[in-house]
Structure 1
Amino acid sequence: MSESPPTAAVLIIGDEVLSGRTQDTNLTAIARFLAALGIDLMEARTVGDRKAQIVDGLNALRAAHDYVFTTGGIGPTHDDITADAVATAFGVALPEHPDALAILVRRYGDDFNAARRRMARIPEGGTLIANPVTDAPGFQIGNVFVLAGVPTIMTAMLEDVAPRLRTGAVVHARTIRVTGVGEGDVAEMLTAAARAEREVSFGSYPFGHGSVGEIGTNLVVRGRDAAKVETAVAGLLTQLAAVGVAAVRA
């Protein structure tokens, strides 16, 4: 029996996300990053800058999944409490990491103040995650990867994370664009296909509703076995053609 693919979860941290002032894009970036490595992203949560919420969310997610990625809350300001919360979740101290301190001293020179020094605090036992954009590192402890909230920085940090992960078989996805009908018109067909092929997943995503122009449904077929995905797509195309529904590979 083949080994099950690794699973992951994301914990998005920040009052600014919950308030609507900041639109989160990190979840999409992490999802695409993991998909390319064959790691299944199973869950995502968003919590505010409240230590108890972060601790509770992190402990639940790290117990349930192979990997957890946190974003946000590792900067120099008073509400950047992610490192404190992670240390509490793991039951360890939060000392200054000598390598992190050296990186920050080089980066800021005479502008290295007490606020920026907070970013050198790493939970005991943690290892640094390189930050090629602003140098201030993230860190890994156990199966948890603590990343910046700024999207450009977070994405750059993933380069140092990738080699640390156990990868799985990549999921192949194919889309069929069905025009002129809603997802309710193809629901029974998709249900039958899902029952017949358990190793392939089927999804439907309507488009154009409530707007002027073409309406229809995108059917998405996903699976780790590329041949089975292609067979499922061919089967759906044949069935759609048989009932006179216009459909093409997107």
Structure 2
Amino acid sequence: MDDATPQTVTAAFLVIGDEILSGRTKDKNIGYIADFLTMSGIDLMEVRVVPDIEDRIVEAVNALRGRYDYVFTSGGIGPTHDDITADSIAKAFGVAIDHDPRAMAILAAHYPPGEFTEARQRMARIPLGADLIENKVSKAPGFRIGNVHVMAGVPSIMQAMLDAIAPTLRTGRKIVSRTVDADIPESRIADALRQIQADNPDVIIGSYPRTNDGRFSTQVVLRSREPDRLVPVAAAVEAAVAAAVAAAQAARG
């Protein structure tokens, strides 16, 4: 890794759409983009869901783009009257919006003669100064302006757009993980984990309780950008688990 590469690159994800908030559509994009960004070495720090209300979209975009390296949005760039994301992004950046000749050409070539309707032409309205994001699925492009990437809400299309922009993204050092399985309830090792975390602030420690046929166990996940740091911390967790198991067995006599 080049020394000039930053330690961390941060991002936020903005989900836009009344249908998500009402429950009519079940979001499938948050988990996907979280995995995508983690694998790319980009830390997803915040997710917001906002309705199809221009002022709410503008407010969220301006707050997030000033706080994080990247903002990714999904939803609201289709052909219908309530697809207002493109206009809202233009307002957030204080730029004009109109039918983009590049987008018009892409869509005109895609639809059969007579089927590139006025409604479909709405999908070619792009804020001034934005770059297009390729859409290999349905051709209607997304766009990038500043550090904001505007993508479709349909999962297959959003995923294709992510693949298209992946080579353009600046990435940080990737987080690696290690898992310790503990055949003991989380409460038995909570104090020990708290102390290990305090002693090793550069390693993120997460504990996740599980049940199997009424039996409680815990999965401890260690995360760090320094792979070598996981070894001693994992050893400390394993020792704490072993001590807790021994204490439980002694208590049972």
* TM-score between the two structures when normalised by the length of structure 2: 0.92
Q: How does 1:3-152 map to 2 (within 5 A)?
A: 3-109=6-112, 110-152=114-156
How many Å apart are 1:239 and its aligned residue?
A: 2.1
Corresponding residue number in structure 2 for 1:189: 192
Corresponding residue number in structure 1 for 2:251: none
After the TM superposition, list the runs of 4 or more consecutive aligned residues in structure 1 that deviate by more than 4 angstroms: none
Cα distance in 2 for partners of 1:230, 1:29 equals 29
1:93, 1:124 within 8 Å by CA — same for their partners in 2? Answer: yes
2:6, 2:173 within 8 Å by CA — same for their partners in 1? Answer: no
RMSD of Structure 2 on Structure 1 (CA):
1.6
- SS of the equivalent of 1:64 reads coil
**Cα displacement string for residues 128-173 of structure 1 (whole angstroms, at most 9, x for unaligned residues):** 0000111110000000000000011101111111111111111011
Matched residue count:
243
2:222 aligned partner, one-letter code: V
- SS of the equivalent of 1:111 reads coil
- SS of the equivalent of 2:156 reads helix
Cα distance in 2 for partners of 1:91, 1:4 equals 32
Cα distance in 2 for partners of 1:21, 1:230 equals 46
* Gap regions ≥5 residues in structure 2: 248-253
Cα distance in 2 for partners of 1:189, 1:180 equals 13
Q: Does 1:234 align with 2:235?
A: yes
Q: Does 1:175 align with 2:176?
A: no
Question: Which one is further off, 229-238 or 95-104?
Answer: 229-238
1:178, 1:245 within 8 Å by CA — same for their partners in 2? Answer: no
* Gap regions ≥5 residues in structure 1: none
Corresponding residue number in structure 1 for 2:214: 213
**Cα displacement string for residues 75-113 of structure 1 (whole angstroms, at most 9, x for unaligned residues):** 001110000000000000001111100111111122110
Choose 1 or 2 for highest CA Rg: 2
Residues 180/195 of structure 1: CA separation in 2 closer, same or farther (3 Å cut):
closer
1:187 aligned partner, one-letter code: A
